[in-house]
Every structure is written in structure tokens, then in C-alpha cells.
Structure 1
Amino acid sequence: MGLPSATTASFSFSTTISAAAARAAAAATKPRSFLYRGLYFLSTSSSPLLPSPRKRSLYPWRSSIDNVANRVSCNLLKVDDDINDEACELVNGVALSIGEGVDSIHAYLFKAVKNNNGTGILLLSDIFGFEDSSTRDFAYRVACNGYNVLVPDLFRGDPWAKDRPMTMFEHWLAKQEPQRVAMDIATAAKWMADEFLAVGISKKLGIIGFCFGGGRLIEVLSRDQGACFGVGVSFYGTRMDPSVASNVKVPVLFISGDNDPLCSVNVSKDIEKRIGHGSRVIVFQERGHGFAHRPNSPEEDRDAELAFVLMRNWLHDGLVLEE
């Protein structure tokens, strides 16, 4: 089940392959180990996030991660070390307060330690916010692959709650003022870029977005126009605006399901063509909304694993190899 269909923008072609063949192809292109100058975010009150012993599963990064309550400031220090492909336990996490006064926002930073490739990723959450366990578990695994992942609070402490009646959703969403959300994302991106520049590293950032965050990702990249971000990955973005897509100057990978009522495949393909720059749309058959970071079945687990590999290779090729 879950046969992925890949479509490439402007050079447009379509192909459908079996999930097993796709996984084999993705595994064959798994990035090899390299030695990079990494980064270690040092904090006086940060706590390492060490995974508890657990059995292997189809979705191995779905672990319980404790929140760090205190907000601290972070500094970047250079380190050199060998990359260890199995170094997922070497991920530290820290809660942050970025900015000052009424413009300050909360965020959470996952940072790779021994296998750090010196690259930053900004992750924009879905409507359930930056403290949601599914979002943090996904960010944790991205960090396991060598990245420094910042997850900002897009909703200023008021994310959507699963127990709220859907009749309140549009009212809640209207309170998430677009200009304020855009400003908070810009604050988070600037903080991350400044931290890297402080240690003499000017690599461009990557950006990942889920659902609400996936829709905002297109707006962010259209304003950025390649200044800060080098690549993007939008997972089933909602309420995406095709009219701004032509301003996006970097390649974007779109991942969605063909049974998703909130993310039209046709809209994603339209945006892909408007962006160009090698952007791609990957459509998973028989998958609905949220399958890549909230899988609810063994079949969704397998497709979530494949989606993660596709994203990982996209980030590696666009951010690490480009350097």
C-alpha cells in the first residue's frame, strides 16, 4: 500500500513505483559519512535529550521527549569530531526565549553533537504547536541526522487543542494574525542565522513545514528570495497561496497524500511549476493529512519512513553537498 507518485516541475514527468522499490532506491542514495566542522550549542542550563531504551519499530523516532522548562540563552562553539551514523542519542535540547519584550517568542532547539554538520533547519509546526510530541519527535530525528533544528512557537502560547470543538476553529485561526506570525518566523530565522555568523559560518538554512507551517513556508520563501534559506520541504501545506510562488528562488519538495482534503495535489503541482528551480511534488497514494509525522497504522508508518528518507536526502543534497 502507499505507492508514491513523483512529479517533477517544469521538466514535468510522472512515474509510479512500488513502495518497496522506492525504499530500496532511497536507501541506495543514503548520504555517506563525511567529516564536517560541527557546532555545539553550549548552555549553562540545557539538558541532553537522550532516547530511552526501546525496541526497534517501523517508526523508531517516535519516542517520549521531556520538555525543558527553563528558558536560556545559547552560544555556538565550534567542535570537530567523527560522524557516527548511529549517534542519534547525541542530541541535546534546550528551551529558548528569542527576542525582547512583547516581540519575544518561545522556541525549542534540538542540536546534534558528534555528528553535527553545521547546518540549521527552521521547522514550522502544524496547528498543534511547537510543544506537540509528534512535532518534537520529528525534529529530534532530523537532529539525529546531523542538523540543528529550531522549532518556534507560532501561536504565542495558544495552539489549537484536540479537545476544542471544530466550530471554534475559524475563530481561533483568525486570531493568528498573518503579519504577527510572519514577524515571529522572521525573528526565529534571524536568530539562527546570527548565531551561525557569530562563529564564522554563513551556510544557508533549510526550512520544513507541516500543515499550517507548510503553507506559511511558501510565504516565508517568497519574502526571503534566497537570502537566508537554501531549500524547503512542505508537508501537506494548508491554505498555500500560489500567487506568491513565483517569488520563491529556491527548490521546494512537496510531500502529500492523494486522499488529503486539506492539501490539494493540483494546488501543490501548480505552485511547484511556478517555483521551478528543480522543485518536486511527491504524492503518496491512499494517504491523508498528517501521515508523515502522525502515522496511525503500520502502512502509514512505512510511508512516513520513506517520506523522511526523501526529505533527508533533499536536505543533504541542497544544504550539505552544496557547501
Structure 2
Amino acid sequence: MSTVVRTSIGSVCVCDGININIAKPLSRQCRFFPTSVSPLLSCFQKKCDLNLPRPVQDAADSKISCSLLNVQDGIDDEEACELVSGVELSIGEGDDTIRAYLFKAVKNNNGTGLLLLSDVFGLEDSFTRDFAYRVACNGYNILVPDLFRGNPWTKEQADVFEEWIGRQNPERIAEDISRWTKWLFDEFMAAGISKKLGVVGFCFGGGQVLKVLAQDHGSCFGAGISFYGTRMDPIAASDIKAPVLFILGDNDPLCVVSEIQNIQKKIGEGSKVVVFPGRGHGFAHRPGSPEEDVDAEHAYVIMRDWLYDHLVV
């Protein structure tokens, strides 16, 4: 079990020999997962203590800090601040520091830990954060690591994407993911809170899902979800021991349906491919039209049910 020690400059979470620096609560941003049919409504700013977190009593039910979130029907302002807490974490020191955000369900926490691997826009992207908030609202504890160590891709770099991606060392990314996976294991599985972890990824992160599960061999992760994964390694599929849900559109040149179906067959029984007709890349976590909003909502429900059936029940 991790313990948090208050200091004059912040809090330090010591986790089985790894120092986890709890830097600060999440900043107040007012852009949330857009969907025209979602029960989640508008964001609001609640006057609650957003200074430093309180000491953690238990990994499953501790309240790290209040933060903003979308509000469900029937939930008043007083309750809404209690639904999800968020905090920035870091492992390592100096140039070896790697950051992550942890979103925790404060009420109705089911104890399950999830790893969310972002697209190339990184953990600071509002769409990624909004999605993580929403998943946490469903009772999960979801960790979003900084895969690119503060250097995500931006649209201004459109002409040099291959150059940018070439600078992202795959061995370094894999090692960073492994370190955060160990933290999740210590925080939830070793503590006896969660039976298995889950991993979810979008685009670039969706491709990383296969690598993570192939290296894991079923020891930590009980399920994976890949949204329109890119740069996937079909060879890794045969080493995966956990069921994987693939969600994609049939109009996505970066994630071809036939290739995903072949990968799914290599993984074997229990995995599933869900194809949305007419949808392109990124529709589920950054929808760009009312029609995509509807399919994004449907994809979210499919993902939510998959997580529940494979990790909670």
C-alpha cells in the first residue's frame, strides 16, 4: 500500500521503493467530452479546496483533491465536486522524470485501476482529459501517463509528423509505460483492491495497447481496449493473453478494418472488433459533428460495458 507524506513543498507517495511526487491538483479547464446525447451536462466551477491533497488513507477510497467535471442529471453542485478527484503525479528526478495524471472516482469507487494511453496530442489534450474524467465518473481510477515527456505533437507540426514521431524512442516509451504499470499494480493489485488492471488507448496509444498486453502475458491486465490503433504490430498479437476490444470506423485510412480483424483472430477467443460505418479516425474521443457525437456515445457505452464485464464483475 502506498503512503503519502506531507512536506512543506508538496506530498511524496512512496510506493515499494519508487518515489511518486504529487505535484498539484489539475488545473481548471472548462472543455469537456462533447456529445450531443450524453447525460453529462455542462461543466461548472465549484468552490472547493483545490490546494494540496490530503493524506491518503486508502488507495480505493481516498480523496486526493476536488476538480471539475461534467454533471449528471439529478446531481447538485455539492455532490458533483465529490464525484471525481484528480492529481498530477511524477516518478523519477531530473531528466528522468515522467509525469501522469490520476483521475479517481470518489463516490462509488469500484477499486479498478485503468491505464489510458493517449493519442499523439498527449496527456495535456483536453479531449483526453475529458474522456478520463468521464470514465472515472463510472467508478474507475484511471492513470494517464505522459508518453511524450512534455513534447507531444501539435497541428502546427503537420508537415513534420514523421520527423516528430521518429524522435519518440519506442524503448523509452515502453519503459515509461512499464514504470507506471508497476505503480498501478502496487497501488491497486498488490493492495488487494483490484483483481486485474485494464488498458485503454487511442490512435498511437491504441497501437501501444497491443505492445503492453503482449509484454504482460496476462499477469496484470485483464482486458484491453484499442480505439483505432495506429502502427500496430501484428506479431505481438499472438503473445496477448487478455481479451481486446477494437473500436474503429470503416473510413479510417490509418486503421484498416481488415488488418484489425486479422489481429483479432490471432489474439483468439474473447476479443471483439466493433466497426462504425462511415466513421474516420478519432471519432470516439474527439467527435467533430452531431452524427459523430451519436456514434461516440455508442462507442463509449460499448467500452464501459466491456470494462465492467471483464474487470468488475
The aligned runs of 1:197-208 (5 Å cut-off) are: 197=189, 199-208=191-200
Partner of 1:178: 170
- Alpha-carbon distance in 1 for matches of 2:164, 2:41: 29
- Alpha-carbon distance in 1 for matches of 2:238, 2:106: 37
Q: How many correspondences in the alignment?
A: 276
Partner of 1:96: 89
1:70–1:95 Cα contact (<8 Å) kept? no
Which of 110, 116, 125 in structure 1 is aligned with 2:103? 110
Output the TM-score relative to the length of structure 2: 0.79
| RMSD of aligned Cα (Å) | 3.4
1:123–1:152 Cα contact (<8 Å) kept? yes
| 2:109 counterpart of 1:130 | no
| 2:309 counterpart of 1:317 | yes
Query: What are structure 2's unaligned runs of at least 5 residues?
Result: 12-22, 63-71
- Alpha-carbon distance in 2 for matches of 1:169, 1:119: 35
Structure 1 window deviating more from structure 2 (189-198 vs 119-128): it is 189-198
CA positional deviation for 1:307? 0.1
Partner of 2:161: 169
1:120–1:149 Cα contact (<8 Å) kept? yes
Partner of 2:16: none
1:121–1:149 Cα contact (<8 Å) kept? yes
CA positional deviation for 1:201? 2.6
Other structure's SS at 2:135 match: helix
- Alpha-carbon distance in 2 for matches of 1:267, 1:76: 46
Q: What per-residue deviation string (whole Å, max 9, x for no partner) do you get for residues 235-288 of structure 1?
A: 000011101100000000000000000001011101100001310000000000
**Identity across aligned pairs (percent)?**
59
1:249–1:277 Cα contact (<8 Å) kept? no
1:85–1:115 Cα contact (<8 Å) kept? no
- Alpha-carbon distance in 1 for matches of 2:166, 2:253: 20
In structure 2, relative to structure 1, the CA distance for the partners of 1:308 and 1:56 (3 Å cut) is closer
| 2:100 counterpart of 1:121 | no
Partner of 1:16: none
Give 1:290's aligned amino acid.
G
Partner of 2:236: 244
2:250–2:279 Cα contact (<8 Å) kept? yes
- Alpha-carbon distance in 2 for matches of 1:74, 1:128: 32
- Alpha-carbon distance in 2 for matches of 1:127, 1:120: 23
- Alpha-carbon distance in 1 for matches of 2:52, 2:122: 17
| 2:212 counterpart of 1:233 | no
Give 1:158's aligned amino acid.
N
Which of 249, 254, 259 in structure 2 is aligned with 1:257? 249
Which of 193, 196, 213 in structure 1 is aligned with 2:185? 193
Partner of 1:266: 258
Other structure's SS at 2:155 match: coil
Partner of 1:158: 151
In structure 2, relative to structure 1, the CA distance for the partners of 1:130 and 1:160 (3 Å cut) is same
CA positional deviation for 1:198? 5.9
| 2:164 counterpart of 1:209 | no
CA positional deviation for 1:167? 2.4
1:253–1:281 Cα contact (<8 Å) kept? yes
1:99–1:187 Cα contact (<8 Å) kept? no
